Amino acid sequence: MSLQSTPTLLAIGALSVAGLLAHDGFDYFAKTENVVNGPLIYGVTILMHSVFGASGVTEKPKALTSVSENPLFKFFTLFLLAFAAVRDFEDTLLLVVLFLAITQLIRTKEERERHPTIL
């Protein structure tokens, strides 16, 4: 699947919106939500975002910088931040996919070439 193609990105976005509307709050992963809603995961996520986010006031440690360059880590962090707002596992997954599709969709051709995997 090419993340350079506008029709593909529009389809991903449309499927994400359809998924958000179709599952109607059905909870496929209730136990996972209980773990992530716990103070440890939720608290650390919010603190990491607050301290090391785009406008953090301190310099990130090298170890964190190297880990944060991993696309899986980026997706996981984005997922947890979205979950903090949405509080539903399924809605979060679909919302993150929609967000990434829109992000890639609004990029110019040159930006898409520099960031072919979105993250």
Angle at 32 (CA atoms; ends 28, 34), nearest 5 degrees = 110
Q: Please give the C-alpha separations between residue 31 and each of 22, 34, 38, 97, in angstroms, as whole numbers.
A: 21, 5, 11, 22
Q: Where are the alpha helices (DSSP H) in the chain?
A: 6-22, 30-36, 39-52, 62-68, 71-86, 89-105, 109-114
Please report whether residue 1 resides in a domain.
no
pLDDT tens string for the chain (119 positions)? 577 889 999 999 999 999 888 887 788 887 887 787 776 677 667 666 655 665 554 677 788 778 878 888 888 888 888 888 777 888 888 888 888 888 889 889 999 888 887 77
- Domain total of the chain: 1
What is the pTM for the complete model shown?
0.65
Q: What is the pLDDT of residue 13?
A: 92
Structural domain includes residue 119: no
Residue of 30, 20, 3, 41 lying closest to 93 (CA atoms): 20
**66 lies in a domain?**
yes
Three-state secondary structure call for residue 24: coil
**Structural domain of 48:** 6-114
Q: Is residue 30 part of a domain?
A: yes
> Would you mind telling me the total number of residues written for the chain in this entry?
119
- 25-44 pLDDT, tens digit per residue, is 788 887 887 787 776 677 66
Residue 28 forms part of a structural domain: yes
Read off the tokens for 34.
Answer: 């209980």
The pLDDT value recorded for residue 69 is 84
Question: According to the model, what pLDDT value does residue 54 have?
Answer: 58
User: Is 91 contained in some domain?
Assistant: yes
